[in-house]
Amino acid sequence: MNVVDTIIKKRDGKELTAAEINDFIRGYTDGRIPDYQASAFLMAVLCRGMTDRETADLTMAIAHSGEIISLTGIVDTAVDKHSTGGVGDKTTLIVQPIVTACGVPVAKMSGRGLGFSGGTIDKLESVPNIKLDLSKEAFLAQLKRYHTVLSGQSADLAPADGMLYALRDVTGTVPALPLIASSIMSKKIAAGTQTILLDVKVGVGAFMDTIEKARHLAEVMVAIGDHVGRKVYAELTDMNQPLGSAVGNILEVKEVIAFLKGEPVPADIYEHCVESSAILLEMAGAAKDRNDAENQVKKALASGAAFESLKKLVEVQGGDSAYLDHPEKFPRAPIVREVLADRGGYVHEINARTVGETSVSLDAGRVKKSDSIDHRVGILVHQKVGDFVEKGAPLFTIHANSEEKFNRAVTNLLSAVRIEAEKCEPLPQFYGLVTGANEKA
Ligand code: URA
């Protein structure tokens, strides 16, 4: 079928066949379908949606745009975790080394920043020389030898996702449920892991703004996992305010290092990472129960084993791990200044989306597909919803590369915060866990 007919069919809200979806993905991957037609297709999907069957077919087509890895003979079991995207969400870089340090191999395929949300690959590229586009052979060899590997899409693995991901980022087509589900699950299927924890973010700083939509996304992805025999759980977690303190690439890597070295970090990121790591250990059968899993996680943190595991990951992928031992070596943005509270009271809101968009406007993320990012810039968020702040207390520290961008960021960030005289409860962190049928996969 002609691609224009496929676009028109979806534009008119009709259901595509598996063959039409496959043709589209194959044509885009091999360069016969240009970006402008792919953009129109993505926009049609965003506006018209897809049935769960179409979403599953899209997922398999994207997964099969490259090779599908089999981990048989490489490791007995390997786990993976993947977030739907949030602001300040550096959990992969914390959970992966913790879980590896607890003896469970992790094979992780990650993405770049998307819209206002950051991406693990962009963050980890803050470390000089690190290689994050591994071939299938390199991915497997590293997993076998070191039990930890982290890569972005390459020409071998889910290449269509790499191309569509970059296009969605700059065409306003990120928050479509079928596109998010297929993007995430195609990578998971291609990377071959049997046990997968999905972190489905909910709130103003997530692509799903209500618990109902997030639960639907979680259920669709878990069902795709069931269909291909993977054990998939999806936790629903809050993304109304930024997670942790740092937003922006080097700043987030520094927060990861602080966390793994046992330095103080905000309670939300600590609890989130301990919980996610514990769920993964339990899913992998490496813990008797959640309590045992949490104890193992805390031990791996306290002994420094989790930090050593991150260092090992960085080293074997060519990165300069001296930056992890000495984070002060990371370059610093030329302008680093605080934004102070213009009134005292209780923090009712720190709008994660506005913070994420402000971080992109500072150059921590991309507006156009070809944009390069400035790893130095970003925002430190000093308060959480429910905190009491005095007038004049620091709300944010902005790391900027120009006065103009700094000034714009101040205005935006002040509009992200609401401080009132009345008390306010802290935000919940978890809204539930969706589990699949393959409990024994
Ligand atoms: N993570 C992905 O890999 N893809 C998305 O679409 C969103 C988050």
- Which of 126-140, 233-247, 393-407, 417-431 shows the lowest per-residue confidence on average (mean pLDDT)? 126-140
The catalytic residue among 110, 182, 183, 277 is 183
Q: Same CATH topology for 79-326+430-434 and 332-420?
A: no
pLDDT at res. 440? 44
- Which of 264-268, 275-279, 294-298, 437-441 shows the lowest per-residue confidence on average (mean pLDDT)? 437-441
Residue 439: pLDDT band with limits 50, 70, 90:
low
Q: What is the third-level CATH fold of 79-326+430-434?
A: Pyrimidine Nucleoside Phosphorylase; Chain A, domain 2 (3.40.1030)
* Strand partners of residue 197: 81, 233
pLDDT at res. 438? 65
> Which of 312, 146, 327 has its CA nearest to residue 251?
327
The catalytic residue among 64, 82, 230, 272 is 82
Radius of gyration of the CA atoms of the chain, in A = 21
pLDDT at res. 371? 83
Q: What is the third-level CATH fold of 332-420?
A: Aldehyde Oxidoreductase; domain 3 (3.90.1170)
Average pLDDT over residues 273-297: 97
pLDDT at res. 109? 84
198 backbone dihedrals φ, ψ, rounded to 5°: -100, 140
Please give the share of the chain, as a percent, with pLDDT higher than 90.
Answer: 87
Two tokens, residue 433: 């866990």
Is position 144 annotated as part of the catalytic site?
no
Q: What sign has the CA pseudo-torsion 257, 261, 267, 273? A: positive
Average pLDDT over residues 224-248: 96
Is position 187 annotated as part of the catalytic site?
yes
Rounded CA-CA distance 310/91 in Å is 13
Measure 339 CA to ligand 1 centroid, in angstroms.
Answer: 31
Of residues 304 and 368, more confidently modeled: 304
Average pLDDT over residues 362-389: 93
For residue 419, pLDDT beyond 60 = yes
Average pLDDT over residues 423-441: 85
Of residues 136 and 81, more confidently modeled: 81
pLDDT at res. 63? 95
Model pTM score: 0.92
Q: Which of 55, 62, 82, 112 to mutate to test the pocket of ligand 1 (most atoms within 8 A of CB)?
A: 82
Rounded CA-CA distance 217/230 in Å is 17
pLDDT tens track for 2-15: 999 999 999 999 99
Two tokens, residue 193: 């892991």
Q: Which of 114, 173, 237 to mutate to test the pocket of ligand 1 (most atoms within 8 A of CB)?
A: 114
Domain boundaries, the chain: 3-49, 79-326+430-434, 332-420
For residue 152, pLDDT beyond 90 = no
Rounded CA-CA distance 424/206 in Å is 22
Does 410 sit in the ligand 1 pocket, CB within 6 Å? no
Average pLDDT over residues 60-82: 94
pLDDT tens track for 207-229: 899 999 999 999 999 999 998 99
For residue 1, pLDDT beyond 70 = no
Q: What angle do CA 78, 430, 150 make, to 5 degrees?
A: 30
Is position 161 annotated as part of the catalytic site?
yes
- Which of 250-259, 287-296, 373-382, 429-438 shows the lowest per-residue confidence on average (mean pLDDT)? 429-438
The CA–CA distances, whole Å, from 369 to 58, 114, 118, 161, 163 equal: 22, 10, 14, 14, 10
Which three-class secondary structure state does DSSP give residue 344? coil
Q: What angle do CA 83, 85, 89 make, to 5 degrees?
A: 80
Neighbours of 361 (CB within 10 A): 17
Measure 183 CA to ligand 1 centroid, in angstroms.
Answer: 5
Rounded CA-CA distance 85/111 in Å is 10
Residue 135: pLDDT band with limits 50, 70, 90:
confident
For residue 157, pLDDT beyond 90 = no
Does 193 sit in the ligand 1 pocket, CB within 6 Å? no
pLDDT at res. 115? 79
Number of H helices, E strands in the chain: 17, 13
Residue 156: pLDDT band with limits 50, 70, 90:
confident
Does 117 sit in the ligand 1 pocket, CB within 6 Å? no
Helix axes 52-63 and 211-227, enclosed angle (nearest 10): 60
pLDDT at res. 369? 66
pLDDT at res. 441? 41
Does 283 sit in the ligand 1 pocket, CB within 6 Å? no
Rounded CA-CA distance 209/72 in Å is 39
pLDDT tens track for 344-360: 999 999 999 999 999 99
Measure 116 CA to ligand 1 centroid, in angstroms.
Answer: 12
Does 180 sit in the ligand 1 pocket, CB within 6 Å? yes
* Strand partners of residue 418: 349
Rounded CA-CA distance 212/231 in Å is 22
Q: Is the distance from CB of 276 to CB of 387 less than 8 angstroms? A: no
CATH of domain 3-49: 1.20.970.10
Q: Is the distance from CB of 181 to CB of 194 less than 8 angstroms? A: no
> Which of 16, 91, 108 has its CA nearest to residue 56?
16
* Strand partners of residue 337: 398
Is position 382 annotated as part of the catalytic site?
no
Is position 183 annotated as part of the catalytic site?
yes
Atom index in ligand 1 nearest the CA of residue 82 equals: 1
Two tokens, residue 12: 């008119």
Does 183 sit in the ligand 1 pocket, CB within 6 Å? yes
